[in-house]
Amino acid sequence: MARQDLERLIGRAVLDPEFREKLFTDPEKAVREAGFDLTEEELAQLKSIDAQKARALLEEAEAIPAAEWK
Amino acid sequence: MTSAGSMHGTAYEADYQAVLARAGSTVAGFPPALRSVAEPMLPQWGEASFSRIVALLPYWIADLLDRSPPRDAGPPIPHPGDTETLALANLLGWWSYLLQDGLVDGDLEPGSFLPLSMALYTAAVGLLAQLLPGDRAFWDAFERLSLASSEAGAWEQRLRLDYLKDRMTIDPGLVEPERLADRSALLELAVAAQFSLRGLDQEHPLYAALCEMLRHYAIARQIADDRSDWVQDLQNGQVNFVSVRILRRMLEIGAIESLAELDVERMVGYTLYDEALFAGIQQEAIDACRRAAQCIAPYRSRLLDSLVSDLAHDLERNHQVARKSRRQVQAVFALHGKGSVQDLRSL
């Protein structure tokens, strides 16, 4: 995957809760539907994410960086 | 930012409530169409930390001048109620500016809010005209600061709305923090007015020190705001000081080749791995706070010191919170491993 695609995928996961949830539920389908081109290794990395832990972490980090100054 | 619990936020609470009450009365005197737009906004505006700062600044300056009058000045001339009227003018002027900002952002409907902004501005100028009808030094400062504020507003509008059109590179001037300092015009106007009300000369070093302090304060405050808003602004198709910084960095390291590649998702993904970028922005804001504090240090104003130190404290706290958040996202995506962005970045 090109660097910009990986940055974009992560950025989308941060900004778009719906995409993020799809990514945790079915990474392969989410990536395919979004049109990202992942290697097998990268896909395996995404599949290995502990969704429950990730949800908790991202919920806490939800605001990056928008809620920094309220 | 929460200033309500700090020294500068609590010292004049009764005065702030009095100013808010007069602001409510002023709005109640507007034509019904404007009143119906303004009145629902008043509680939210009144609670906003910067409304408090703008309204109470004349009191803090008065406190400083009462305790440490310039040596060449006579005793302060008492003008009961003038500081409250000046505070009201400042507050109405700030709310007018706030609406203009919302209109530029596209958050507000011009048909209702542009006339309201003009009514608030007119009321503010009317109060200043009552206070200082023939004071040449003040009105010269008013003209100069109004021009500076207008230019700053026009610059921001160009930056936010037009910059991304037909642009391939970034003008160096757009990332200079000094460009943010002209946002302090409204605050500096309070200094000019307080000096005039007390018959003090603008040539005195204290006048320059206060204005310079407020310019540095405005820089720090604006960086903080832009650091908070850059994603949302970009999603609205607008850049600000921080997003221009990010774009410049991405151009410098070759992450993008031109602004035509601008993509909010990519920028968010990119920034998760560039702590140095945010550390640099943070340092600029903290440096601005330090310079602000240095400007007024000789005059020992605990209220103004508190204003600046609270901002520095909030900047640091928010920087650390955001840093922690970025680390959590990195942890989720296990991005330090082989094939990660981190890995790709090192290629």
User: ipTM for the complex?
Assistant: 0.83
Closest-CA distance, A33 to chain B, in angstroms, reads 16
Q: Say yes or no: A48 contacts chain B, CB-CB below 8 A.
A: yes
Instruction: Show contacts of A57-60: CB within 8 Å, 24+ apart.
Output: A57/B328, A57/B329, A57/B331, A57/B332, A58/A13, A58/A14, A58/A20, A58/B328, A58/B329, A58/B332, A60/B325, A60/B328
Measured between beta carbons, the chain B residues lying within 8 angstroms of A56 are none
Measured between beta carbons, the chain A residues lying within 8 angstroms of B226 are none
Measured between beta carbons, the chain B residues lying within 8 angstroms of A60 are 325, 328
Domain locations in chain A as residue ranges: 3-68
- Return the SS3 of B90: helix
**For every one of its 347 residues, what pLDDT tens digit does chain B have, with 9 covering 90 and above?**
445 456 666 778 999 999 999 999 999 999 999 999 999 999 999 999 899 999 999 999 998 988 766 655 565 565 779 999 999 999 999 999 999 888 877 778 888 899 999 999 999 999 999 999 989 999 999 999 999 888 877 877 777 666 666 666 677 666 778 778 877 888 999 999 999 998 888 998 899 999 999 999 999 999 998 998 888 888 887 888 899 899 889 888 888 888 777 789 989 888 888 889 999 999 999 999 999 999 999 988 889 999 999 999 999 998 988 888 888 888 787 655 444 444 444 43
Closest-CA distance, B140 to chain A, in angstroms, reads 36
Residue A66 has pLDDT above 70, yes or no: no
Yes or no, beta carbons of A45 and B337 under 8 Å apart: yes
Amino acid code (one letter) for A20: R
Cα B119 from Cα B108, distance rounded (Å): 16
Q: What's residue B70's pLDDT?
A: 60
pTM for the model stands at: 0.86
Q: Summarize pLDDT for A15-60 with one digit per residue, the tens.
A: 888 998 899 889 889 998 998 887 788 788 888 888 888 887 777 6
Cis check: omega of the bond before A65, within 30 degrees of 0:
yes
Q: Characterize A27-54 residue by residue with b for buried, 16 or more Cβ atoms within 10 angstroms of its Cβ, and e for exposed.
A: beebbeebebebeeebbebbeebeeeeb
Q: Are B226 and B216 in contact (CB under 8 A)?
A: no
Domains of chain B as residue ranges with CATH: 7-345 (1.10.600.10)
Q: What is the dihedral of CA B143, B147, B152, B153, to 10 degrees?
A: 100
Nearest CB to A7 within list B230, B318, B341: B341
Nearest CB to A69 within list B225, B265, B271: B225
Q: Are B130 and B86 in contact (CB under 8 A)?
A: no
Q: What's residue B28's pLDDT?
A: 97
Closest-CA distance, A44 to chain B, in angstroms, reads 11
Closest C-alpha to A6, from A63, A46, A33: A46
